[in-house]
Amino acid sequence: MKLKETVSSFLKRENAESQPFLLALSGGADSASLFHILLNLGKKFHVAHVDHGWRESSAQEAKQIQEQCEDAEIPFHLLTLKPSEIEGNLEDGCRRARLAFFSHLCEIHGLKAVMTGHHGGDQAETVLKRVLEGASFSALCAMREQSLHQSLLVWRPLLSTNKEKIYKYLESNGLSFIVDPSNDNPTYLRARMRKNIFPYLQNEFSKNISSNLCYIAEQSRNLDFYLEEKLSHYLEHRVKGPFGVLMNFSGHHPFEIEWLLRKWMYQENETLTRTQMQNAVHLLHNHDANKQIPLSNGTLYIDRAYLFYSSYNFLRTSSEEVFLEDGQKIGNWTCSLSKVEQDENLGWKEVWKGTCACSLGEGDYYLKYPSINEMRSSSELLSKWWSKQKVPAFMRQVVPVLMKEGKVVQEFLSGRHLSEIKSDRYLTLTCFLDSQANC
């Protein structure tokens, strides 16, 4: 299929006939060919160019691209970066800045997606890089023709096209393009892969390495689609509450656990190292209890095949008693008292959702957060009782207990009654948690 037909077919599949989109135009061969094809197809699009500031000539090149767009009456948007102001890895920092720029433009101008010039050679490089980095099988697909980066839709119509075909199109149409010397700079891994690693492998194996790696990407993509179809509905069963998100991984194969966890953490903007992922999968599959894995934005709490993701600080220091009355607050829990009969709502799973309820008898009651040595009865620690009832350890100080005459008469985590109470009133505790306070 000719290059123009490849792009045209892609746009028809993506229903891009009415709503305009964004073209990421670096001026190199790949994006230059897309710019020419889109003009010939009469498509409505904007152009975004990023001047990375890596070369002295980059500002002049940005000006040339702007003039090219103005001549064609195509809206042009420019982002100029300063490498000295980018923290950490320069390539990663520039990539994040580009994506944020594209996302902003699509949002404010109502653009459907951003189109990039990634081709088969880029795909092959990414697959080989991921293989050597030890990526999971379903993640080897690297790039897809259509993908979602947070809220940004990314299109790559040339992903199945080799570089030679792009050069041939440019030559046959008498088109010029910008040659970026940094693509040959051995400082960057991609340049070393193109100039050294790929030619070496091609020579040693006497095979089309790029084509074979793209085939691996296709098979990996099919595996990911299959897992998406078979497993994604389990993510809909996650339990969300004021403390975070909870999911039960019982009955899942380790391979399924890893796939589900990877998808979930991507949605939370978290990235697990290989060691963290292997550890989490092992702990969940073995039903280990009371384990934690700190991440960048929150913590994974693992307890008997249940996985909790939370950024909440579960440590409790205050053990002050408060008198129970309607509207009383303790921490971020608010009490409601009613004489209207209602269902009891007990157990740590209910507490995780941010509400719990129980019946009350006559007399005065108090609420307090339990201390480490709080007694359930004259002979048993409350902590021992909770261990028997398999209450996750990290949740044991997240909700107050009900006190009467200096004794614990009801706790809300085990789902059981500590004593028989003749119902006279009904207590409901509701958690209103903000980012600055603990319950």
**DSSP per-residue letters across 298-330:** SEEEEETTEEEEE-----------EE--TT-EE
| Mean of pLDDT values over 368-379 | 84
pTM of the model: 0.78
| Distance in angstroms (rounded) separating the CA atoms of residues 270 and 123 | 24
Residue 436, pLDDT score:
38
| Mean of pLDDT values over 102-111 | 97
pLDDT digits (tens, 9 = 90+) for 74-92: 999 999 988 777 777 777 7
Residue 359's pLDDT band (cuts 50, 70, 90): confident
- Count of Cβ atoms closer than 10 Å to residue 35 Cβ: 24
Least-confidence region, from 212-221, 225-234, 396-405, 425-434: 425-434
| Mean of pLDDT values over 1-8 | 91
Of 74 and 344, more confident? 74
Which residues, other chains included, contact 131 with Cβ-Cβ below 8 Å and sequence gap of 6+? 140, 216
Beta strand segments in 5-98, E: 21-24, 45-51, 76-80
| Distance in angstroms (rounded) separating the CA atoms of residues 120 and 53 | 27
Residue 419's pLDDT band (cuts 50, 70, 90): low
| Mean of pLDDT values over 52-79 | 92
Q: What is the average pLDDT value for the chain, to the nearest integer?
A: 90
Domain boundaries, the chain: 3-226, 238-310, 322-431
CATH assignment of 3-226? 3.40.50.620
Q: Cα angle vertex 149, ends 120, 68, to 5°? A: 65
First-residue to last-residue Cα distance in the chain: 62
| Mean of pLDDT values over 152-173 | 94
Of 45 and 1, more confident? 45
Residue 420, pLDDT score:
61
**Has residue 191 got a pLDDT over 70?**
yes
Please compute Rg for the chain using Cα positions.
29
Residue 45, pLDDT score:
97
**Has residue 435 got a pLDDT over 60?**
no
The identity of residue 140, as a single letter, is L
pLDDT digits (tens, 9 = 90+) for 130-158: 999 888 888 888 789 999 888 999 999 99
Which residues, other chains included, contact 15 with Cβ-Cβ below 8 Å and sequence gap of 6+? none
Q: Which fold has domain 238-310?
A: Chorismate Mutase Domain, subunit A (1.20.59)
| Distance in angstroms (rounded) separating the CA atoms of residues 41 and 8 | 8
> Cα-Cα-Cα-Cα dihedral of 352, 271, 106, 118, to 10°?
-150
Residue 422, pLDDT score:
63
For residues 357 and 428, the answer to whether their CB atoms sit within 8 Å is: yes
| Mean of pLDDT values over 401-405 | 90
Helix residue ranges, H only, 42-144: 58-71, 90-109, 120-133
